[in-house]
Amino acid sequence: MTDVTAGRAEGVRSVQDNYLALVRKKRLYGGITLLIFIMLMLSGFQIANDRNAGGFLEGIPMFFDFPEGVIEEAWEKRGNLPGLLVKYFPALIETVNIAAVSTLVGAFGGIVLSLLSTRGLALWPRAIPLFRRVMDVMRALPEIVIALVLIFVLGGGPVPAMIAIAFHTAGALGKLFSEVAENADLKPVEGLSSVGASWGQKMLLGVIPQVAPNYVSYGLLRFEINIRASAILGFVGAGGIGYELRNSISWGQGKFDEAAAIFILLFGTIVVVDQVSSHFRNRLTKGAAL
C-alpha cells in the first residue's frame, strides 16, 4: 500500500517537473520574442526619426497647426456652410456612385474567383494556385496605381476610377470570400453532386445559400472602404468629391470653408453607411427576417 502511494507521489512529481521544464522553455522563447520585438520597434523608430527632415517630437506641435487653421477659418465663415454643402452634394453622389458600382462589380468577380480558388469547391483543382496568385496580384496593386495608368490611357473621369477600384475589390473580396467558403459545409454539395448537378448549379444552390450572409457582410464593409478609396482617387483626377477637396485644400488659405464642408459631407456619408450596413449585417448574422 505504501509502495503504491509512494509510486503515485513520484509520478506526480515527475509530471510536475516535466511541466515546469516545459513552462521554462516557453517563457524563454516568449522572452526572446519580446526582446526582438522591442529592439525592432526601437531601431525602426530611430531610423525613421534620423531620416526625417525634422525630428518627430519637435514636429508634433506643428502637426496640429493645420487642422486648427482649417477649423478657425471655417468657423469664421460658418455662414457659407449650408450653401457649400448643397453645392458639393452632387460631387458626393458621384463619389458614392463610383464606390457602389465598383463594389458590385468587384464582389461578383470576387465570388467567381473565390469559388475557383477554394479547396474542395474549385472547378479545376489544379488551377487553384493560379487563381490565388491572380487574386494576390489584384490585391497587391493599389487602386491609385491602376487609376493613374487608366487615367493616362482613357483620360480623366469616373470610369477609370471605377475599373481601378473594382479590380482591387475583386482581389480583396475574393480572398475573404474564399476563406468563408472554405468553412462551408460540403455535405449539401455532395448531395447535389449525387443528383447530377453541374458545377455552377452546385455552387449557386449548395454553397452560396450557406455563405450569403457572410458575403453580404464583407461586401458592405468593402463598400465603406471603397467610398474612401473613390474620394482619394478624386485627387488624381477621377472626379467626385475628392477632386473638389484637392482644389480647396491646395488653394490654401481662403478656401478652407469649402474644405470643411467637404469633410463634413464625407464624414457624414461614412457614418451613415457604417450605421446602415452594421444594422443589416446584424440582421444577417443573427438571422432575423431571413
Q: Classify 238 as helix, strand or coil.
A: coil
Backbone φ, ψ for residue 124 (5° rounding): -120, 90
Among 6, 10, 25, 27, binds another protein (CB under 8 A): 27
Q: Is 18 or 49 the residue whose CB approaches another protein more closely?
A: 18
- Please tell me the distance from the alpha carbon of residue 93 to that of residue 109, in angstroms, as a whole number: 24
Distance of CA 230 to the CA centre of its chain: 14
Minimum gap (Å) between residue 31 Cβ and another protein: 9
**Could you say which DSSP state residue 255 is in?**
-
Interface residue with another protein among 6, 10, 25, 26 (CB under 8 A) is 26
Residue 258: CB minimum distance to another protein, A:
48
- Return d(Cα 97, Cα 70) in angstroms, integer: 28
Q: Please work out the total of residues on this chain that contact another protein, with binding judged by CB under 8 A.
A: 13
Using rule CB under 8 A, residue 15 touches another protein:
yes
Contact yes or no for 242/88 (Cβ under 8 A): no
**208-233 vs 158-182: helix axis angle to the nearest 10?**
150
The site string for another protein over 107-126 (x = CB under 8 A, - otherwise) reads --------------------
Q: Is 29 in the site for another protein (CB under 8 A)?
A: no
Instruction: For residue 275, state whether it binds another protein (rule: CB under 8 A).
Output: no
Residue 22 touches another protein, criterion: CB under 8 A: yes
Interface pick for another protein out of 6, 18, 47, 86 (rule CB under 8 A): 18
The number of CA neighbours under 13 Å toward the Cβ of 44 is: 6
First to last CA, the chain: 66
Closest distance to another protein from the beta carbon of 276 (Å): 26
Residues that bind another protein (CB under 8 A): 8, 11-12, 15-16, 18-20, 22-23, 26-27, 30
